[in-house]
Amino acid sequence: MLYKANLQDRAVLAMWSEKVSTVQQLNTDTLFKPFNPLLILLELYTNLVLFCKEQHFNREQTSVLISIIKTVHQFNTETPLNNTDHCMTYCSELLLCHSVRRPPFSIDLFSSEQVTLILFYFINTYMRHYFLYKCIFTPEVWSSLNSELRTIVQKEVRDEVMRLTSQLQQRLQDSADQLNDAISKLETNIKVKK
């Protein structure tokens, strides 16, 4: 699957590539302010842009790499389950699609050496802090046990009441039958004696 950077990614790339020092200053200024998950993403992308500059990636390579990491991050935080292997495989597949020339499915954007460097960087940054990203960015799943428990208890109580009601009706019917039998025997005995 060929991944093209959208306009928002390109705008963010332009802002970051021109103002990396401003972003770093922003990070140090907001270091002691209340926790903000966006600052963590900002640091992730800032470090990614710095890595791209160190490796002398062009704008297209930088844009695609940011989009790949963004996509892998979204894939990571879709589920609260541990999907480290899937994230690593997904990142490798996306990089492979951008390192082999097989139009329209893939383009030759990264060399094999660059892919190796990118994977090494990805493992040592994102995957090293995988569970931190998972904890911070994965939406919490809350299931209301009270409502589920209430429903289960109501059903069980209803079933038990129905069972006890049918048992009580059966006992009353048996008692009525025994009483009718006893009365009819007494009536028969009284008629015989007369």
Q: pLDDT tens across 94-145, in order?
A: 999 888 887 777 778 899 999 999 999 999 999 999 988 888 888 776 656 6
Q: Which residue ranges in the chain fall short of pLDDT 70?
A: 1-34, 141-147, 194
Question: Coil, strand, or helix at residue 109?
Answer: coil
Q: What is the CA radius of gyration of the chain?
A: 35
Q: Domain limits of the chain?
A: 7-137, 143-194
Tokens representing residue 160 in the block = 């038990």
Distance CA 108, CA 100 (A): 5
pTM assigned to the model: 0.58
Residue 2 pLDDT? 47
Tokens representing residue 132 in the block = 């931190």
Residue 138 pLDDT? 82
CB 52 within 8 A of CB 31: no
Widest CA span in the chain: 124
Residue 25 pLDDT? 55
Residue 26 pLDDT? 54
Q: How many CB atoms lie within 10 A of CB 104?
A: 6
Residue 22 pLDDT? 53
